[in-house]
Structure 1
Amino acid sequence: MSFSSLPVIDLKSHPDDIRQTILLACSTTGFFYVSNHGLDSLQSQIFSMAKEFFYLPLQEKLLYASNTTSYQGYLKIGRENLDSTNSKLMDEKEGFRIRQSDLNRKDKLPNIFSHEENFKLLEQFFRQCYNLCMHLLEYLAETFEIDRDYFTSRHKWDKEPGAALKLLHYSPINQIEQNINVIRA
Structure 2
Amino acid sequence: MNSLQSWPEPIIRVQSLSDSGLTFIPDQYVKPLADRPSLTEPPPPPAEINIPVIDLSQLFSPDRSIRSATARVISRACSEWGFFQVVNHGVSHELMKRIREVWREFFELPSEEKQAYANSPATYEGYGSRLGVEKGMKLDWSDYFFLHYLPESLRDQNKWPSLPLSCRELVAEYGNELVKLCGKLMKVFSVNLGLEEDYLGKAFGGEEVAACMRVNFYPKCPQPDLTLGLSSHSDPGGMTLLHSDDHVAGLQVRRGDDWVTVKPVPNAFIVNIGDQIQILSNATYKSVEHRVIVNSAKERLSLAFFYNPNGNILIEPASELVTEDSPALYPAMTFNKYRLFIRTKGPRGKSQVEALKSPH
Tell me the TM-score normalised to structure 1 length.
Answer: 0.80
Aligned twin of 1:26: 78
Cα distance, 1:149 vs structure 2: 0.6
Q: % of aligned pairs identical?
A: 26
Aligned twin of 1:37: 89
CA–CA distance in structure 2, aligned partners of residues 46 and 156 of structure 1: 28
Aligned twin of 1:7: 52
Q: How many residues align?
A: 172
Cα distance, 1:111 vs structure 2: 1.1
Written as runs of structure 1 = structure 2, the 5 A alignment for 1:65-104 is 65-76=118-129, 79-80=130-131, 87=137, 89-100=138-149, 101=152, 104=155
Residue from 152, 155, 159 that aligns with 1:108: 159
Q: 1:103 to 1:50 in 2, by over 3 A?
A: farther
Unaligned segments of structure 1, at least 5 residues: none
Aligned twin of 2:26: none
Given the alignment of the two structures, is residue 141 of structure 1 paired with residue 210 of structure 2, yes or no? no
CA–CA distance in structure 2, aligned partners of residues 62 and 157 of structure 1: 36
Cα distance, 1:107 vs structure 2: 2.3
Which is strand-richer, 1 or 2?
A: 2
What SS class does the counterpart of residue 181 from structure 2 fall into?
helix
CA–CA distance in structure 2, aligned partners of residues 46 and 133 of structure 1: 18
Compute the RMSD of aligned alpha carbons. Answer: 2.7
What SS class does the counterpart of residue 57 from structure 2 fall into?
coil
Q: 1:16 to 1:36 in 2, by over 3 A?
A: same
Residue from 8, 17, 20 that aligns with 2:69: 17
CA–CA distance in structure 1, aligned partners of residues 142 and 73 of structure 2: 32
Aligned residue type for 1:48: E
Given the alignment of the two structures, is residue 131 of structure 1 paired with residue 148 of structure 2, yes or no? no
CA–CA distance in structure 1, aligned partners of residues 225 and 72 of structure 2: 42
Cα distance, 1:179 vs structure 2: 5.8
CA–CA distance in structure 2, aligned partners of residues 102 and 166 of structure 1: 19
Cα distance, 1:5 vs structure 2: 2.1
CA–CA distance in structure 2, aligned partners of residues 31 and 180 of structure 1: 25
Written as runs of structure 1 = structure 2, the 5 A alignment for 1:139-178 is 139-155=188-204, 158-159=207-208, 162-173=210-221, 177-178=222-223
Q: 1:180 to 1:20 in 2, by over 3 A?
A: closer
Q: 1:51 to 1:30 in 2, by over 3 A?
A: same
CA–CA distance in structure 1, aligned partners of residues 162 and 68 of structure 2: 45
Aligned twin of 1:53: 106
Are the aligned partners of 2:144 and 2:217 in contact in 1 as well (CA < 8 Å)? yes
CA–CA distance in structure 1, aligned partners of residues 90 and 101 of structure 2: 18
CA–CA distance in structure 2, aligned partners of residues 27 and 68 of structure 1: 33
Cα distance, 1:55 vs structure 2: 0.6
Structure ID, larger Rg = 2
Are the aligned partners of 1:103 and 1:123 in contact in 2 as well (CA < 8 Å)? no
Cα distance, 1:167 vs structure 2: 0.6
CA distances 1:87-139 after superposition (whole Å, capped 9, x unpaired): 2x3211111011114884222222126x4x44332211111101100100111
Tell me the TM-score normalised to structure 2 length.
Answer: 0.43
Are the aligned partners of 2:161 and 2:168 in contact in 1 as well (CA < 8 Å)? no
CA distances 1:164-184 after superposition (whole Å, capped 9, x unpaired): 1111111124xxx21665322
